Amino acid sequence: MSTLQPVRGTHDLMFEDIRRHRHVQSKFSGIAERYGYSEIATPVFEATEVFARTLGDTTDIVTKEMYTFETKGGESVTLRPEGTAGVARAFVSEGLAQQAPLKFFYSGPMFRHERPQKGRQRQFHQIGVELLGVPGPQGDVEVIAMADHILKDLGLTGKITLELNSLGDHESRAAYRQVLIDFLSVRRDKLSAESRERLEKNPLRVLDSKDPADKEIVASAPRFPDHLNQISRDFFKAVQDGLGEIGIHFTLNPALVRGLDYYTHTAFEFTTEALGAQGTVLAGGRYDGLVQQMGGPPTAGIGWAAGVERLAMLLHELPALRRPFAIIPVGDAENAVAQKLCHRLRHAGFNVDLGYGGNMGKRMKRANKVNAVAALIIGENEVKQSVVTFRQLDSGEQVTVAMADLESHLALYR
């Protein structure tokens, strides 16, 4: 047991793990591009205020989960805990308002100083999209449709359900918030300690408390949907109708909330039962107030982010790796020929493995271990006749192929 360990909550990704990540990643970018989104890579760290200002001072992320440190120049910087703030900052600092509407997708590591557990790490990876400058419900529909599309393409249909809610516009939200506070304040003594705290900092959060006593109170609480004004109602209905028209199923969940002030209207989550306590696999919503809050012009925005680790855990089958051809020199005398052939075939586009040493038996073993389609054996006789012995490793069938014909012969087995 080595004493040198990766930092708590971080992991080395290799072999099958990284293939899972790559698979998620490439499905995602392929589909995002199909929807007309272009990639953006913002820095993994930003000035601390980028996150502190946008996420809100009372959220756990800001109060206890950020990796914040001081640079040699005395600035406070923070490793990004999520992706939206960075994109919004780029929108403002690059003056992108002129080009709106803009459609971005991103992916990469995020950092939160939390207690690690299943589906939760201190360095984890997200994929996400942001649609900026589209105030209408068709934006919400598109972004959700894209999320659904990606999950389907990853083969996760059936394991995941879409939950939907509306937080209304600012007016509805403020009104409901007050109604809820009034309701809960009267029953304050019956609430759990945690919910009493939520009541102070983030009253909407009481709605999704897991405490049984809280649940009972919440069950009779005024409901958000009943307090939406006409504009918000119409907006929400348009989103639901839009999803219905393209056959995307969803469940309404009035308890689905977002604590921050800049969230408006649509909030959604794709959740699963398969990941223990971390059921949310992809979550997003509309954040029409965010860009303005960061000092930009009033700009509508909607987007989502998904946890790559969580998605990767749900994948059952990965696409098969391309099988290589193994080149096997029988003795040292054939090394140079083998090396040359290897180079030639790789440039012809074939996946070629050439071991670094050992006798023939060892090299055959290696060929087997790398799951080669065939071994190309080159010995004294083969060199003399300008051929290779081509052995299919699954069947053991063996034929002689002229060196000059190798490209066309290999193409049959690729």
Q: Out of 21, 89, 112, 177, which residue is the one contacting RNA (CB under 7 A)?
A: 112
Residue number with CB closer to RNA (222 or 331): 331
Told to check if 210 binds RNA by CB under 7 A, we report yes
CB atoms under 10 Å from CB of 54, counted, come to 22
Q: How far is Cα 266 from Cα 338, in angstroms, rounded to an integer? A: 62
Tokens of 293: 């809050």
Q: How far is the CB of 76 from RNA (least distance, A)?
A: 20
Helix (H, G, I), strand (E, B) or coil at 385: helix
The beta strands (E) that lie in 238-356 are given as 251-252, 264-272, 280-286, 301-307, 325-329, 352-354
Q: How far is the CB of 237 from RNA (least distance, A)?
A: 25
Site mask, RNA, residues 302-341, x = CB under 7 A?
Answer: ---xxx-xx-------------------xx----------
Helix (H, G, I), strand (E, B) or coil at 400: strand
Q: Out of 140, 142, 269, 353, which residue is the one contacting RNA (CB under 7 A)?
A: 269
Strands 374-378 and 325-329: parallel
Give the H or E element holding residue 281. strand 280-286
Give the H or E element holding residue 305. strand 301-307
Q: How far is the CB of 301 from RNA (least distance, A)?
A: 14
Give, as ranges, the residues between 215 and 244 that touch RNA (CB under 7 A).
Answer: none
Q: How far is the CB of 104 from RNA (least distance, A)?
A: 17
Residue number with CB closer to RNA (211 or 229): 211
Q: Out of 13, 44, 61, 221, which residue is the one contacting RNA (CB under 7 A)?
A: 61
Q: How far is Cα 158 from Cα 281, in angstroms, rounded to an integer? A: 13
Q: How far is Cα 47 from Cα 50, in angstroms, rounded to an integer? A: 6
Residue number with CB closer to RNA (231 or 336): 336
Q: What angle do CA 118, 122, 125 make, to 5 degrees?
A: 85
Told to check if 379 binds RNA by CB under 7 A, we report yes
- The owner of tokens 């703030």 is 85
Q: Out of 205, 223, 323, 409, which residue is the one contacting RNA (CB under 7 A)?
A: 205
Residue number with CB closer to RNA (2 or 230): 2
Q: Out of 164, 283, 314, 337, which residue is the one contacting RNA (CB under 7 A)?
A: 283
Q: Out of 119, 203, 242, 301, which residue is the one contacting RNA (CB under 7 A)?
A: 119
Q: How far is the CB of 13 from RNA (least distance, A)?
A: 13
Tokens of 81: 């805990």
Told to check if 58 binds RNA by CB under 7 A, we report no
Site mask, RNA, residues 6-45, x = CB under 7 A?
Answer: x-xx------------------------------------
- The owner of tokens 């649609």 is 131
- The owner of tokens 């589906």 is 119
Q: How far is the CB of 221 from RNA (least distance, A)?
A: 16
Rg (CA), the chain: 28
The HSE-up count of residue 319 (CA atoms within 13 Å, CB side) is 10
Q: How far is the CB of 307 from RNA (least distance, A)?
A: 2
Residue number with CB closer to RNA (73 or 357): 357
CB atoms under 10 Å from CB of 396, counted, come to 7
Cα–Cα distances in angstroms (integers) from residue 9 to residues 110, 115, 138, 176, 261, in the given order: 12, 8, 39, 39, 30
Q: How far is Cα 221 from Cα 188, in angstroms, rounded to an integer? A: 13
Residue number with CB closer to RNA (231 or 333): 333
Q: Out of 161, 280, 292, 335, which residue is the one contacting RNA (CB under 7 A)?
A: 280
Give, as ranges, the residues between 133 and 192 that touch RNA (CB under 7 A).
Answer: none
Q: Select from 293-301, 345-353, 390-398, 401-409 the region that touches RNA (CB under 7 A).
A: 390-398
The candidate with the shortest Cα–Cα distance to 109, out of 27, 156, 16, 41, is 41
Residue 161's DSSP bridge partners are 271
CB atoms under 10 Å from CB of 381, counted, come to 12
Q: Select from 132-140, 143-151, 224-232, 381-389 the region that touches RNA (CB under 7 A).
A: 381-389
- What is the DSSP code string of 87-135? HHHHHHHTTGGGG-SEEEEEEEEEE-----BTTB-SEEEEEEEEEES--
Q: Select from 56-64, 97-105, 166-174, 346-354 the region that touches RNA (CB under 7 A).
A: 56-64
- Residues forming the site for RNA (CB under 7 A): 1, 5-6, 8-9, 59-61, 64-65, 82, 112, 114-121, 124, 126, 194, 198, 205, 209-211, 259, 269, 276-283, 305-307, 309-310, 330-331, 359-362, 364-365, 367-369, 375, 377, 379-382, 389, 391, 393-396, 398
